[in-house]
Structure 1
Amino acid sequence: MLTHPGFDPVAIKFTDTFGVHWYGLMYVIGFIAFLLMGKYRAKKPGSPIKPDQVDDILFYGALGVVLGGRLGYIFFYNFSEFLQNPMILLRIWEGGMSFHGGLIGVTVASLLLARKFGLPLLKVSDFVAPLVPLGLGAGRIGNFINAELWGRPTDVPWGMVFPTVDQLPRHPSQLYQAALEGLALFLIVWIFSKKPRPMGTVSGLFLMGYAISRIIVEFVRVPDQHMGENGFIAFGWMTQGQLLSVPMFLLGVALFWWGYKKHPVKGA
């Protein structure tokens, strides 16, 4: 049995009330990784994106992640409280971000950029998709440092006690997500995208990969207790995260099929 190290969520303290949090640093790491890998990809022959356009993608994408993530959390996970007090939308210091909301925000940002660059939306999203997973993984490391979004009780040898919760060994589900939707998804999508692929297939693979990873880990992660009955919103076992991931997976399958059916690439 392991015990959570009990990290201080504040990485750098300037005063007793002001400092830089680890979770914020994880966002910075994700954005830096996005920028560096994006510049690298943009220099490759045949790239639809120019190196100087990556800066615009990062700026628009960061706005989409933050605004979409916050709005998604409020509307997907905390809508009843929002109806009682709409001002919680602005209380970002209290935490609360949704991946699925961030995905919608990034999609809107990609649509705006596609119009600006004169490219099809899927050309932009295929460029962006391989750059996202490492940022997702960094965010999950931030969740682990903060000892939040922990897993369900378990008797596996690597079960971890989170003292701020209770003394039960639990799945370190944050690390599972960092490994699956972070590192593993990055390797799969990055390697797949290294060769010319039909338009939409890289985006489709990302959507399918994330959805599968999220659905799997949600089986060992503690669901949001304020959602449905004991955190389950359907069938007595399905969580909100799983429900939101189902249409994401289906869209990924559709994009993958459509790409190979309508836009085949020789040798892909």
Structure 2
Amino acid sequence: MTTLPTYFPSPPQGVWHLGPLPIRAYALFIITGIVVALLIGDRRWEARGGQRGVIYDIALWVVPFGLVGGRLYHLATDWRTYWGPGGAGLGAAVRIWDGGLGIWGAVALGCVGGWIGCRRHGIPLPAFTDAVAPGLVLAQAIGRLGNYFNQELYGRETTLPWGLEIFYRRDPSGYIDPHSLDGVSTGQVALVVQPTFLYELIWNVVVFVILIYVDRRFALGHGRLFALYVASYCIGRFGVELLRDDTATHIAGIRINSFTSTFVFIGAVVYIMVAPRGREAPESLRGKEDAAEEPAREFATVAAGEASTAAVAAGSDADQGEAEDAEVGEAEDAEGAEAEEPEKAGEPEAPGAEEPEADEAEAEEPRAEAPEADEPEPTPAQDSAEPASAAEPSKAPRGRWRLRRNRPSNS
């Protein structure tokens, strides 16, 4: 019994319509690939020490430049389709959503957009390319599914069991052509071909795994991981080009993309050999915004330190003030006790609280020494206190009555 090969079919169509709005599978997969690349690149950028979200800002420059560059490369290498005899013309040349992007043009002009974005943010371009390289090659793998839905970029006819069935498609005008992008499959197989889109998709996934492993194992930086991505992709692309049979520009019988892959591979290997080892310092990935915020953070830190020091000093001053108040209180109590000693001998003595007034009076007018004859005659109860007063004139009470007796002219 003969077993027929088990081929797998192409999708019945590559575009759907929501009213007048066409939804193209090619565009959906391109957008999905870009989103995946940005998500992976942003996480890797943050892990390397950069500021989260910067990748999205730079992507505003990279994506438009990359799309334009990819289209320009496609037009340059497949110019006969648009500008040759019976070509599609300028209108078809600008319809990028119909497919037709060259990876090398996208990478080249995308790097120009990346350079502009990195320069505006003050971060090194090589570090940026290293962060996005794994996500970029995975985005290419996702984008190849768009070629699958468009029935394009396939290889030569084959009888291999995994051959791809290419169907005839009928477009809205009724024209039947296997290359119709807007058509719907008639169910009739036109040919069975090598699924080169699938080969490149698988190779891109392998390169993605290699990049992740090598980056973790050897910590590549300064653009060397991006160069490894370029070199690895060139190897797979060169092999795929040998299997493709679609319309393309040839030089000496060799497809132009084979030449491009060869030269780009050599350049990538040379760059890996001469580029600096190791990775960039995390501080260099934070850009101008972080550098502008650094003085403010330092000022806030210094201000917080000074506030803490002032609080400690204020607490120490308060404690010292309380200690001084306590000492002054003790001194006043001792002075009050000395002032009360004459009262124990029966002499009328002014309270200790009035002593400051006596001091002020002494400051205004010097106290005159009273003669011994002016001393009041003691009462019989004060006889025992007079000798002590005469023997120790320095301890005479400074009461208000003493000041009046010393100044008879003012009375």
In structure 1, what residue type is equivalent to 2:232? Answer: G
Q: Secondary structure at the match of 1:132?
A: helix
What's 2:277 paired with? Answer: 264
Match 2:95 to one of 91, 94, 99: 91
- Counterpart contact for 1:82–1:89, Cα < 8 Å: no
In structure 2, what residue type is equivalent to 1:14? Answer: L
TM-score (norm: length of structure 1): 0.84
Distance in 2 (alpha carbons) for counterparts of 1:57 and 1:216: 33
Unaligned runs of 5+ in 2: 169-177, 179-188, 280-411
Match 2:258 to one of 242, 251, 263: 242
Alignment of 1:138-153 (within 5 A): 138-153=142-157
- Counterpart contact for 2:59–2:114, Cα < 8 Å: no
In structure 2, what residue type is equivalent to 1:141? Answer: L
- Higher RCO (CA-CA < 8 Å; seq separation 6+): 1
- Counterpart contact for 2:27–2:97, Cα < 8 Å: no
Distance in 2 (alpha carbons) for counterparts of 1:126 and 1:59: 18
Matched, 1:188 2:216: no
Match 1:21 to one of 1, 4, 24: 24
Deviations 1:31-87 (A, max 9, x none): 22112212211221x33x321201113222211221111111112221784599555
Distance in 2 (alpha carbons) for counterparts of 1:80 and 1:140: 21
- Counterpart contact for 1:151–1:173, Cα < 8 Å: yes
Distance in 2 (alpha carbons) for counterparts of 1:209 and 1:147: 26
Shift of 1:20: 1.4
Unaligned runs of 5+ in 1: none
Inter-CA distance 201–240: structure 2 relative to 1 (3 Å threshold): same
Deviations 1:184-224 (A, max 9, x none): 11111122223521422101101101111100111111142
Q: Secondary structure at the match of 1:168?
A: strand
What's 2:117 paired with? Answer: 113
Distance in 1 (alpha carbons) for counterparts of 2:97 and 2:30: 15
- Counterpart contact for 1:203–1:255, Cα < 8 Å: no
- Counterpart contact for 1:68–1:101, Cα < 8 Å: yes
In structure 2, what residue type is equivalent to 1:63? Answer: P
Alignment of 1:27-106 (within 5 A): 27-44=30-47, 46-47=48-49, 49-78=50-79, 81-82=82-83, 88-106=92-110
Matched, 1:233 2:251: yes
Alignment of 1:118-267 (within 5 A): 118-164=122-168, 165=178, 167-181=190-204, 183-194=205-216, 195-225=218-248, 227=249, 232-234=250-252, 236=253, 238-259=254-275, 263-265=276-278
Distance in 1 (alpha carbons) for counterparts of 2:139 and 2:53: 21
Q: Percent identity?
A: 25
Larger radius of gyration: 2
In structure 1, what residue type is equivalent to 2:11? Answer: G
TM-score (norm: length of structure 2): 0.56
Distance in 2 (alpha carbons) for counterparts of 1:24 and 1:91: 11
Deviations 1:118-139 (A, max 9, x none): 2332122212212201110111
Distance in 2 (alpha carbons) for counterparts of 1:198 and 1:124: 10
- Counterpart contact for 1:34–1:58, Cα < 8 Å: no
Distance in 2 (alpha carbons) for counterparts of 1:69 and 1:264: 31
Distance in 2 (alpha carbons) for counterparts of 1:19 and 1:172: 26
Larger deviation: 132-141 or 79-88?
Answer: 79-88
What's 1:8 paired with? Answer: 13
Distance in 2 (alpha carbons) for counterparts of 1:122 and 1:114: 10
In structure 1, what residue type is equivalent to 2:159? Answer: D
